[in-house]
Homo-oligomer: A and B are copies of this chain.
Amino acid sequence: MADPAHKDAPCMPCSVEATLNLIDGKWKIVILYKLLKGTLRFNEIRRLLPGVTQRMLTNQLRELEADGLITRTVYAQVPPRVEYNLSELGRSLEPILMAMKAWGDANLNRSLPAAEAA
């Protein structure tokens, strides 16, 4: 990649890949999923994701915001208050999120992929 004028070799089904890239990340998809249900504050999301660190949560939220999938609203108050919401674009991901959840429920259904019934 020593050629700045040359983009990465574009493989063509990139729309499916590009979509994946937006929701890829250790916590992004769960954040989006949780936000489907409504507005959440920073610490609310944090509580919903046991194991996440402030750094990662901030990072993932910023990336989602940069990709236009969520909105971030800061209230200039003395106890700081920041609310996160899905943008219209983010909300349009709902069918995909639901399809993925349904698939997981149906196929790996809280179990390990023990064997595939041929």
Contacts and interface: CB of A to CB of B under 8 A. Distances in A.
Interface of A: 8-20, 22-24, 29-30, 33-34, 48-51, 67-68, 87-89, 92-93, 95-97, 99-101, 103-105, 107-110, 112-113, 115-116, 118
A22 B99 CA distance: 14
A108 B103 CA distance: 25
Given A20-B29, A24-B24, A96 B101 contact: no
Given A8-B51, A95-B99, A99-B99, A29 B17 contact: yes
B9 A50 contact: yes
A108 B50 CA distance: 32
A13 B116 contact: yes
